[in-house]
Structure 1
């Protein structure tokens, strides 16, 4: 064992406390036991195996289904100072051999692999681990892929049953965001988990607001929505490859920064577009479900479904790609009956009636979600076996809860039309019949009926709405056939023949709410937030990584809210671990200090929730490996600029490293700042204090730089 989980969480990842049941899961794994973890997207699944990986001796093997997902996770770990790597088919044999050499020397803490790599022809990784390395833990990400009952079954995952056969004493953690009871049991059976616990977190994503809108002529409404979110990143899902291409082209023609993504594109195009989206250079990705599982982008503000998803599990997972940083986000679904018919055809599995029945049942529940009048969040949570209140306040049915009104005459007209056509036609036909449509689809004999045209006073969508209301209230039913038709029920006969009243919800015009009421925090400085985003993007492009891997939007909002002035203050900000403070802290601090000086603002760090007390406290400043490297380069005769270029760090960061050694007495201030400048700086320090470098700089001669000020401040701390 190396360090405690709480210490790892704080020093490496920059978080002060665990969320949900992360701590219990980690303790369970460190006890050598297996676990199945169900945790919503953005709930912190990765930390459940990354933290124990850093507590245990040996390497943790993470099985992941997509190359993009592996690269994303590894990049994030490397940026936090963790030794991690991945093995995949895109690497040159020499790259793979270098990684195996690191394994032999026990230099890696986490290794990400695809399931087929474990027993591949080129590398039998399981055999290699038995003979030449020390596995500490196996983590199976997207574990629902192992189950034929899951929504994304992948046969290559079935090979993972070998883990418990060859390494019976190594703990296994299986993680997924979505699994019903059948899928959970299959995961446990397939992985042969022993002495395991199932850890289930709430499926609730309180920061996501859910909307379902009618699909007919939806494009104009989509444009209006995107116009109000022009600075946000978002994903629009379509059912087919052609649909993504067409919609992306239409959006680009209307001035939006959008691209298409689907499995039919060549790999280089997919990789390029995904990379641009991750770096915020593309704002809108129009995609099939081929896009997403490998996307850990935390600042996706909306997910739109232009077509109906196949099942609740897929819908939940796709909408869960919005708001992974916990900030307010939206999920919008455009629903049309035509999509239902397409998906029913897709659900037909040749020679497998059992699988077909399961797929059709899942589709029916997806349709019911779209047509429900109850709280949509409650519907989702109930689907996953979780209780929920009747009202959430952040879905369209709760935000715009309509009153019930007497719609008996409307109901009688619809029921009469269904009866007059002998219960042999569907919802759209009945609406057209009532409207008196001249379409060739309306049979000539039906145009002679009394019900033909008696509904001209209402638009077609309104008749469709009331018909769905009657369906959801049990006054009508849909036949269980390939081409479902409307049928009367016993309940409808009471309305037609016994004078019973019908109360229905009126149709509503849904409008989105920009700021859901569920997210509450202190007001933040928006201009500063935008400046910090620009700084983050600049650093991300320099380091060729997605911007959110540097810091999430929530970390930047924390900066813009609490306005830290010192390095000690930074350690109180979410996401600022020791490694990232050393690497990026000074640059972000200067932006905050500059903004506060311009606006006349003081720090608000005292309003930040204090950290939990640790049993052992770390010293405020530590002599770390990265500082030592800068010191060695300096002592070898290199200039500060040369060190920064060689280490791919900023000059500010190198100055901070060397200032530490001035404050500890290892370096002489006089080698950095002439005595006359020191005197001027000390005089300014007496007058203005040392909390704001910008304030000091503005009140000193122009030739005195920030580095001079930092070095002189460090020298004053030698005896303090």
Structure 2
């Protein structure tokens, strides 16, 4: 059965392939020979074939333990389509009714079912255990095996119960499969599944076609993403965000900017999720904005970019998510946005969790931060994290290799670090080591009496920013390693010991500096948002004065100062672009004078050779736009403003803020019905006259000028009426 010809024939017969990929054949042979097997194979490497083919060739039923119901359905459909036997593959999970479960059991008893997919929760149900005890099991396959490890990026406690259940159901070989696992996670998986002696098959983690880049996350991040997508028109991409709220917001902003985008997260109903997934596969949707709920088992080979809006919680998660790009070997651009604030947010999420869990979570976060901040080849750094040695110094396909930093000599500092680690008995993590080298008397250092050691403070004369990159690069160079059992403790390797005896040159690159307040555009162009153009601003204010005179209305009624300032910054030259200016809505753009403003800006740009970054003009989506629409509809129905505020759960002040924003952006509304009910007619006339004569619509000034006979709310209400009548 296991000779080469038969296996190749079986591959052709069942799957239509002429040859195996990578280690597939050796893995299948190992399973057929009844041995425990551990498979580490990156996304897209063909893991599922490693258990599907042997299951079809062996006696009995193979049990595949998988965490995702959607994935099970998908795989059962695939296998069922390959075989003429009805019921060759089934799944057992919480979504089935009793009749469906009885059918599954009948097919298994009849020997028709070769593959049974179960979620770990279903596997542990008593009646399922009792039933499976009566079945001949060919082998157990544990898919997404990293879920067993607390150090894995998707830990699931129920996975820890798999081995005891296997012992109860009956012994059979085990094959564990995962796409991402560090040495620590690998050890964990094998221990937990009781397959310490399993034969390991480890494929390379290098995906040469993937381009890796980390950008600082400035306040213009939405603009950057839109620009990036517009530079890759019609290409499929996934954007990962940590929160469902951000997923919804970003998808709406992309759609407002004519990008075919949809949101995907676990909070949406399954029909919506399926429709979105199908739309993406059928290319009706170009970009999916998602939480990490999206992507497992999505077999779309031509995803051209994966963007991380928020930095992920672990490098394993990051590697798995970026691995969804370029699975066909074509272009795959992986861009992550990084900010210290996001890191602090993620750290805060851990508060309240068990201490051990917090410790693991923080260690994983530190690895992600190290990856983001490093100036070393990103490919080298990632592969080193997964225990693989990448020998080239420059991969030519990451931001750090395309824009290399100058190297500096750090041989003396490496010697200092190695001697310091030896002095504290190789028993501490890098943050402790750095505190020790810098001579900081922390509580922990004093408790260990390490401040009394000779090596304490041996590096205090060096720039403290050198130590983090130095330790990371010493790990990559093989002078140090992290203890697998007690993760994070720095140990000196034989190479490191040789270095202490005979120091030599050690060149390193300093870390990238990440300043979130940078205004720099992220593709290297200077000034993502340009400064206010004072000459144009003065010209626009002159035009506003002319228009206001002609119309007999105060200047602020035409455009507020904030709108003029933004025009003199963003240079809108069409009415469509004018709509993106703060305080300008559809109503304002329809005013006859709007064209005069854009014509003036256009003329000014041409005469002064202004290079506009029009592609950076982003249409924003008012987060409260639904609220505004609903308020306008309520005012049309003449509902009292205080009643609208109560119904919307906002206070009256907030209500007035919303109504002011509506009229200032050019929408006409009529609140006369409400003024008649709550205000004295003379008061309305007095305040209205004041605004007609005034040079400013400023509230403080109005309160001061009008005196204490008029309340702030009254002044604001009449100002709303005035702006609506005059400006719109």
TM-score by length of 1: 0.55
Deviation digits for residues 546-605 of structure 1, max 9, x if unmatched?
xxxxxxxxxxxxxxxxxxxxxxxxxxxxxxxxxxxxxxxxxxxxxxxxxxxxxxxxxxxx
**Of residues 276, 279, 296 in structure 1, which corresponds to 2:279?**
276
1:28 paired with 2:24, answer: no
- 1:180 paired with 2:182, answer yes
Q: Deviations over 1:378-419 (max 9, x none)?
A: 00001111100221111111123355699xxxxxxxxxxxxx
Q: Deviations for 1:143-172, whole angstroms, at most 9, x for unmatched residues?
A: 111222322111222231135413554111
Residue in 2 that maps onto 1:91:
96
For residue 308 of structure 2, what is the aligned residue in structure 1? 305
Q: Is the 8 A contact 1:377 1:392 kept in 2?
A: yes
Q: Secondary structure at the match of 1:4?
A: helix
C-alpha distance in 1, partners of 2:44/2:182? 19
| Cα drift, residue 116 of structure 1 | 1.3
Q: What CA deviation, in whole Å up to 9, does each residue of 1:159-203 have, x standing for no partner?
A: 311354135541110111122233222212222226522222211
Q: Is 1:219 the counterpart of 2:190 in the alignment? A: no
Give the structure 2 partner of residue 265 of structure 1: 268
Cα distance between partner residues in 1 of 2:279 and 2:61: 32
1:151-550 equivalences in 2 (<5 Å): 151-166=153-168, 168-193=170-195, 195-216=197-218, 217-352=220-355, 354-388=356-390, 389-402=392-405, 472=469
Contact 1:66/1:294 (CA < 8 Å) preserved in 2? no
Give the CA deviation at 1:333.
0.6
The answer as to whether partners of 2:132 and 2:169 remain within 8 angstroms in 1 is no
- Partners of 1:403 and 1:506 lie apart in 2 by 12
Decide whether aligned partners of structure 1 residues 15 and 511 sit closer, same or farther in structure 2, where only a CA change above 3 A counts. farther
Residue of structure 1 equivalent to 2:8: 6
* Structure of larger gyration radius: 2
CA distance in 1, matches of 2:181, 2:236: 28
Contact 1:305 / 1:332 at 8 angstroms: preserved in 2?
A: yes
| Residues 226 and 105 of structure 1, relative CA distance in 2, 3 Å threshold | same
Q: 1:469 to 1:290 in 2, by over 3 A?
A: farther
Match of 2:114 among 104, 109, 112: 109
Secondary structure of 2:207's counterpart equals: coil
- Residues 593-641 of structure 1, C-alpha deviation per residue, up to 9 Å, x if partnerless? xxxxxxxxxxxxxxxxxxxxxxxxxxxxxxxxxxxxxxxxxxxxxxxxx
Distance 1:74 1:375, change over 3 A: same
Query: Against the structure 1 CA distance between its residues 279 and 62, is the aligned structure 2 distance closer, same or farther, given a 3 Å change threshold?
Result: farther
Query: Is contact 2:262-2:289 (8 Å) kept?
Result: yes
Structure 2 stretches of 5 or more lacking a match? 410-462, 472-507, 514-519, 525-728
Q: Measure how far apart 1:126 and its partner are.
A: 3.4
Q: 1:473 to 1:509 in 2, by over 3 A?
A: farther
From 25, 35, 59, the counterpart of 2:61: 59
Kept in 2, the 8 Å contact 1:39–1:176? The answer is yes
Distance 1:84 1:19, change over 3 A: same
Instruction: Name the TM-score, length of structure 2 as normaliser.
Output: 0.54
Structure-2 change in CA distance of 1:468 and 1:242 (3 Å): farther
Distance 1:469 1:248 in 2: 40
Contact residue 405 and residue 505 of structure 1 kept, 8 A: no
Q: What SS does the aligned partner of 2:19 have? A: coil
> Is the alpha carbon distance of 1:4 and 1:471 closer, same or farther for their aligned partners in structure 2, counting shifts above 3 Å?
same
Distance in 1 separating the partners of 2:98 and 2:304:
39
2:200, 2:275 → 1: CA distance?
39
* Relative contact order higher in (CA < 8 Å, ≥ 6 apart): 1
What count of residue pairs does the alignment treat as equivalent? 423
Q: How far does residue 117 in structure 1 lie from its aligned partner after superposition?
A: 1.4
Question: How much does 1:267 deviate?
Answer: 3.4
Q: 1:243 Cα shift?
A: 0.6
1:293 positional shift? 2.5
Match of 1:657 in 2: none
Whether contact under 8 Å (2:12, 2:18) holds in the other structure is yes
Matched residue SS, 2:295: coil
- 1:41 paired with 2:46, answer no
